[in-house]
Amino acid sequence: MKSITAAVELTGIRDFQTFTAPSLRPELARLAREGQAPSQLFITCADSRMVPNVITSSGPGELFTVRNIGNLVPPPDAAEDSVSAAIEYAVDVLGVRVITVCGHSGCGAMQSLLHGAHRRDGGARTPLTRWLRLGQDSLQRVRHMPPRLLGQAPSHDPLERLCLTNVVQQVENLRAHPSVHRRVKSGELRLTGLYFDIAAAQTFVLSRSGRAFVPVRPDVGTAA
């Protein structure tokens, strides 16, 4: 049984080696020689339905990617260094010019927040419940004029409202990091919020006002 399972798990890797690796090898060889120089830090959810390189049509070396439960960006004073270390490295070492926070519809982390998973006081706290406590600011923010999807009536779905609000909150958390604040203020860095509707395969970009998400269309600008 173990050998069968291993063979199934290796199928995709074998396909890559056979069909994809030959065409990618020259570019990967160049990146191996020259090192990485991504222009963007992309922070998104660990949800298996989110595939950053697919929705951004990007290839090797283009995105410096951080994925976690709920696409959360801990504030600078939080006792959590992993995401903060990635932000510092992306900004101060790699010199990225854009940082994107991308949330999505039907987020399980946001659903857990709505159900109060972060407030489980009985018994031992788990790594997941401790992590979800970082989303409390999004829960507070959603009570006051949550953003909406432009062209659509304001949603009455608590989960969608929280998923949208969470992107706005995490961009705000991101801006509070010293290295990010410094580069944004000097005009060297731009922050972007995205929302991906999984069922519709539609990406929305946060407007400059922070009050709405504008659909990204092939033939329509996204400024708002």
Distance CA 219, CA 38 (A): 27
Q: Is 148 annotated as catalytic?
A: no
The residue with tokens 């963007």 is 40
The one catalytic residue in 77, 97, 107, 125 is 107
Q: 102 is written with which tokens?
A: 């991308």
DSSP H helices in 35-151: 52-55, 82-88, 108-114, 127-132, 136-141
The one catalytic residue in 81, 92, 104, 137 is 104
Q: Is 144 annotated as catalytic?
A: no
Q: Is 49 annotated as catalytic?
A: yes
The residue with tokens 């006002």 is 209
The one catalytic residue in 14, 25, 30, 49 is 49
Distance CA 8, CA 137 (A): 42
Name the CA radius of gyration of the chain, rounded: 19
Q: Which residues contact 166 (CB under 8 A, 6 or more apart)?
A: 70, 71, 72, 103, 107, 110, 135, 138
The one catalytic residue in 14, 15, 47, 144 is 47
Q: Which residues contact 135 (CB under 8 A, 6 or more apart)?
A: 70, 72, 109, 110, 113, 118, 166
Distance CA 44, CA 50 (A): 8
Catalytic residues: 45, 47, 49, 104, 107
